[in-house]
């Protein structure tokens, strides 16, 4: 069934036609500030909290779902935030075609699709190739934040980050259940209230790490959807 598309008219939303005309994502903002990327913004709950807390930073929030982008843009507009822009795009495509190397202060990925069936786990976004991609686009000592409510995925990503040269762990263990001041989205709160832990990993790009050219992503399930202009 084809997803019914909602026309998104919010000034916080950047249509694909405009994205392709940009030389630099910073052109989307009135002020040039450290740039952050949230992958899978859902309904915008997380990025609104973060952008309100850090007005001295700019945020790009992306999702592949039209409805989520619409809700996120509405929330951002209602909050009166001028330092967030929403795009409907796929993460690897955005990074490879529209983000400058070593230009991101932080990447945030919260509760992505866990693809729980074993035969589908190759479709998970965060794997060794994706971490190499992230290293290429994070600035020196840039932050990589990952959270999930899915136990297997949380353990897997913590182990991958620990083994990946170029990342330094900000905690004593590959992952933690202590979120501290990390913003909690509505989705995350639902699991916490049920007594289910969130697996959270926070790493930083190692200073002076010489990142190699990013591997080209293998064409997979999430790369085959069509965007609207």
* Catalytic positions: 113
- State whether residue 201 is helix, strand or coil: strand
Q: In what order do the strands lie in the sheet containing 199-205?
A: 13-14, 84-88, 58-63, 35-39, 104-110, 138-148, 199-205, 167-169
Task: Report how far residue 68's alpha carbon sits from residue 62's, in angstroms, rounded to the nearest whole number.
Answer: 9
Task: Show the CA angle centred on residue 217, arms to residues 202 and 98, nearest 5°.
Answer: 75
Residue 14 in tokens: 């950047």
Q: Which residue has the tokens 């290293």?
A: 135
Residue 53 in tokens: 């807390």
Task: Report how far residue 78's alpha carbon sits from residue 101's, in angstroms, rounded to the nearest whole number.
Answer: 32
Task: Report how far residue 132's alpha carbon sits from residue 165's, in angstroms, rounded to the nearest whole number.
Answer: 9
Q: What is the DSSP letter of 176?
A: B
Task: Report how far residue 6's alpha carbon sits from residue 86's, in angstroms, rounded to the nearest whole number.
Answer: 14
Tell the burial category of 102 from Cβ atoms under 10 Å away from its Cβ (0-12, 13-18, 19+): middle
């Amino acid at each position: 069934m084809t997803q019914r598309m909602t026309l998104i008219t919010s000034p916080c939303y950047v249509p694909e036609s405009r994205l392709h005309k940009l030389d630099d994502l910073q052109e989307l903002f009135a002020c040039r500030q450290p740039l952050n990327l949230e992958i899978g913004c859902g309904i915008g709950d997380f990025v609104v909290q973060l952008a309100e807390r850090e007005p001295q930073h700019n945020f790009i929030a992306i999702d592949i779902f039209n409805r989520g982008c619409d809700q996120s843009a509405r929330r951002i507009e209602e909050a009166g935030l001028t330092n967030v822009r929403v795009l409907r795009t796929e993460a690897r495509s955005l990074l490879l075609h529209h983000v400058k190397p070593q230009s991101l202060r932080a990447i945030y990925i919260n509760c992505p699709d866990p693809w729980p069936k074993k035969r589908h786990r190759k479709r998970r976004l965060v794997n060794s190739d994706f971490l190499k991609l992230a290293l290429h686009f994070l600035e020196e000592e840039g932050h990589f934040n990952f959270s999930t409510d899915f136990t297997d995925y949380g353990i897997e990503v913590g182990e991958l980050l620990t083994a990946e040269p170029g990342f330094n762990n900000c905690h004593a263990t590959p992952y933690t259940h202590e979120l501290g001041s990390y913003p909690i989205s509505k989705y995350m709160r639902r699991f916490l209230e049920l007594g289910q832990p969130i697996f959270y990993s926070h790493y930083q790009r190692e200073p002076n790490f010489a990142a190699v050219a990013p591997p080209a992503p293998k064409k997979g399930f999430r790369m085959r959807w069509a965007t609207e202009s």
